[in-house]
Chain A
Amino acid sequence: MDTAVFDLSPDEWTAVHLSLRIALTATAFSLPIGLLAAYALARWRFPGKVLLDGIIHLPLVLPPVVTGYILLVLLGRRGMLGAFLADHLGIVFSFRWTGAALACGVMGFPLMVRPIRLSIESIDRRLEDAAGTLGANGPWIFALVTLPLAVPGLVVGSILCFAKALGEFGATITFVSNIPGETQTISAAIYTYTQVPGGDASAWRLTAVAIVIALGALVASELVQRKASRRLAQFE
């Protein structure tokens, strides 16, 4: 590959760096909540389960701009929740990179929950019974049996969420705008460069970076899945 392609300008580097930070933050915060949601959907029976399932999947089917607008209304500086968080806890999302991470996390959430849920559903409950008769209580069974066996789903879910967060555009730009150095991710930067004369070279370089990162995530996901299925296949 032509090395000149990766000869990024400081502004472009900032966008790449910011994108990675936002995507990693979004994934890291989504993971525990996603695990809880996936476990609840896979194992628990409760009223409103169908509704919860629907709400989790909503960002997948809604226009991203709509999701972004809802976030803006709720969590913007003068939003219902946003005003409260800013006044009492000092947490501000609007026009900050943390807001971009939140938007990306929300958009990536359904992609994260689904593989974890499938992974938990495929665990042989009788293994958990076996752990129980060997002396493990509920939390220990979860930590020593359920969680390790759900690792393939956790990894795949994280990678999908990360990839989605990296490419998120509509919800992010609606919620936190397109501020270079604060909320301008790779996608937003490419969009910006395509709108100005002479920006094609920059857009092209960032496009190449995006392709490399996306391919890397896909390959990693495939490798993890294959390794996990091979290990479990040996065990009938």
Chain B
Amino acid sequence: MIHFNAAITLGAFQLDAAFEGDAGVVALFGRSGAGKSVTIALIAGLLRPDRGAIAVDGRVLVDTEKRIFVPKHMRQIGVVYQDARLFPHLTVRQNLLFGRWFAGKAEQAVDFTAVVETLGIGHLLSRRPGRLSGGERQRVAIGRALLSSPRLLLMDEPLAALDDERKREVLSLIERLRDAFKVPIVYVSHAVDEVARLAARVVVMDGGRVVAVGPVDEVFGPSQVHAGEVRFGRSSVLTGRIAGMRAGYGLTEIEHPSGAIWLAGPAGPVGREVRVVVRATDVTLATRKPQDISVRTILTGTVGEIEKDDGPLVAVTVDLKDHGHLVAMTTRMAADELALKPGDPVFALIKTVALDERSITS
């Protein structure tokens, strides 16, 4: 769907990146300054690369060797910005119809009513952007981009300006759009949970370069990828299958080769494959299988890499059966007292209360 290989120098910053993306959601992941937004601007046509080629859906948008540069208004690429960027002098309805009008009758593949309904913005149509809340603005911005019938939707940290509640709300909307309207999406974020929930494929960027590409669970498994992340930002993604509900208790059991993962609340139909995002701070390690303990989820594995420095905390990667990985944050003192070393068998404990349907991504 997207083929990207471009280089650009902007002042002291240099980008030289190449990646491919297929249908569905491709995430550009990395901290600020990694080059994600520059990549987006290059795809949208807001910047011209010094060298390289970009193609979307088989259509060449830029090729410096062949001297091709399709201007931004002819690219049919929708962009959702962090700050929405709605036109303040137009009503919500006029904002939504802006790109649709330029797309022309033949290209209007996306149904206005369907988008308005899915995004839940029907009651806002006659208002001006100045009278919308942050979450509402972002929903309108997504609708506006989608209604221009783009071949590709670029989302540049669309949730960054929202509080947690709104984040969840908009995130599940994006999830629904992805499934309902089948528009390929390039999603920029520095939040592991968003990326894991939405994307099938992740492109990890750092310092203007691509440092890793692959399926979500592979990329977020090995610890070296986000070695610089703060402890609360670290998460792992486990792939399992819903085995059943413990109806009386409201718990869901997810089958994983290394053991059962328990989750508070419903998570979907039995048999469905799901990915569970587990924060490294919610994982406890034990060298013997604990008895008489409230934790429900106990996975067996072996110690992989141990990231240790002079600080108080250590990140331990647990290699699970079937290629899964789980990162656990623990204190250096605990790691030393347990004498953890690579290859040792280990039990990884995850508190069920830390997992619910928001941890699930399908």
Contact = CB atoms under 8 A, between A and B. Distances in A.
Interface of A: 124, 126-127, 129-137, 140, 144-145, 148-149, 151, 231-235
Please provide the 4 A-B residue pairs with the shortest distance between their CB atoms, ordered closest to farther. Answer: A234-B130, A135-B102, A134-B99, A235-B88
Contact of A133 (B75, B89, B101, B128): B75
A137 B102 CA distance: 9
B130 A235 contact: yes
A215 to B, nearest CB: 29
B102 A134 contact: yes
A132 B81 contact: no
Contact of B78 (A129, A133, A140, A144): A133
Given A133-B44, A133-B46, A137-B73, A127 B87 contact: yes
A133 B72 contact: yes
B130 A130 contact: no
Nearest to A134: B99
Contacts of B123: none
B17 interface: no
Contact of B88 (A126, A129, A133, A232): A232
B85 A126 contact: yes
Contacts of A233: 130
Give the interface size class of chain B. Answer: 20 to 34
Query: Which of B46, B72, B74 has the most chain A CB within a 10 Å cutoff?
Result: B72
7 contacts: A132-B46, A133-B79, A136-B73, A137-B73, A149-B89, A234-B128, A234-B131
Contacts of B144: 134
Given A130-B85, A133-B45, A133-B46, A231 B128 contact: yes
Contacts of B99: 134-135
A135 B149 CA distance: 10
A145 B87 contact: yes
A135 B73 contact: yes
Main secondary structure of the interface of A (DSSP, over half): helix
A135 B76 contact: yes
Interface string B135-148: 00000000011001
B77 interface: yes
B88 A149 contact: yes
Query: Which of A124, A131, A148, A232 has the most chain B CB within a 10 Å cutoff?
Result: A131
A219 to B, nearest CB: 23
Query: Which of B73, B81, B86 has the most chain A CB within a 10 Å cutoff?
Result: B73
Given A133-B73, A133-B79, A136-B73, A231 B88 contact: yes
Nearest to B79: A133
Contacts of A126: 81, 85
Nearest to B98: A134
B138 to A, nearest CB: 14
Given A231-B128, A231-B130, A234-B131, A132 B72 contact: yes
Query: Which of A124, A129, A233 has the most chain B CB within a 10 Å cutoff?
Result: A129
Contacts of A137: 71, 73
B357 to A, nearest CB: 33
Given A131-B87, A231-B128, 10 more contacts: A127-B87, A127-B88, A132-B71, A133-B46, A134-B102, A137-B73, A144-B98, A234-B128, A234-B130, A235-B128
A124 B102 CA distance: 21
Contact of B79 (A124, A130, A149, A151): A130
